[in-house]
């Protein structure tokens, strides 16, 4: 039996935009169902928000997302600091993308880094031909690395 873990990201009204962005980075198909698709009256606030969203790429990339119901403000993004040359962060999770070549992963980095905060620049590291960490424009922290 095979088991696959898929990251499920929570947004406050930005899930559709985030899913389309991730599709533009990694390729694949976007599947989106709204609260309205599941019976919420079309004129109700938030009926156009995503209740189920997913990007599935031919390259194996997969992520799910939805818009958390309600109008409460999103939780603050974790803090990131540098200590003794190491990046320390309070993020509860990262999304990690591993690839086989610097060129392949470098293209993902280039696209994800648009309007992002770079935590660790993409480049050679002690453990991989290339590694980088960034927080994208939606507040999601990504680690991209090339398999050693």
Give dist(CA 4, CA 60) in Å, integer.
11
pLDDT of amino acid 68: 82
pLDDT of amino acid 147: 81
For 74, phi then psi, to 5°, come to -65, 150
Give dist(CA 123, CA 146) in Å, integer.
10
- Measured from the Cβ of residue 38, the count of other Cβ atoms closer than 10 Å reads 10
pLDDT of amino acid 74: 45
pLDDT tens per residue, range 69-96: 765 444 455 556 665 455 555 465 678 8
| Helix (H) / strand (E) containing 46 | none
The pTM score is 0.71
b/e sequence 90-104, b meaning 16+ C-beta within 10 Å? eeeeebebebeebee
Residue bearing tokens 């803090």: 79
pLDDT tens per residue, range 25-68: 999 999 999 989 888 888 888 889 998 999 999 999 999 998 88
Cα–Cα nearest to 95, from 125, 127, 126, 139: 139
């Amino acid at each position: 039996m095979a088991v696959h873990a898929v990251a499920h990201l929570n947004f406050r009204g930005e899930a559709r935009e985030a899913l389309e962005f991730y599709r533009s980075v990694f390729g694949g198909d976007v599947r989106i169902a709204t609260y309205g698709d599941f019976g919420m009256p079309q004129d109700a606030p938030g009926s156009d928000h995503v209740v189920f969203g997913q990007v599935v790429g031919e390259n194996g990339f997969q992520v799910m997302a939805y818009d958390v119901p309600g109008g409460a403000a999103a939780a603050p993004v974790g803090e990131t600091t540098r200590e003794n040359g190491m990046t320390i962060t309070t993020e509860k999770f990262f999304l990690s993308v591993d690839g086989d070549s610097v060129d392949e992963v470098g293209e993902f980095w280039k696209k994800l880094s648009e309007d992002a905060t770079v935590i660790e620049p993409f480049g050679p590291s002690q453990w991989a031909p290339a590694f980088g960490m960034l927080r994208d424009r939606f507040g999601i922290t990504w680690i991209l690395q090339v398999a050693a």
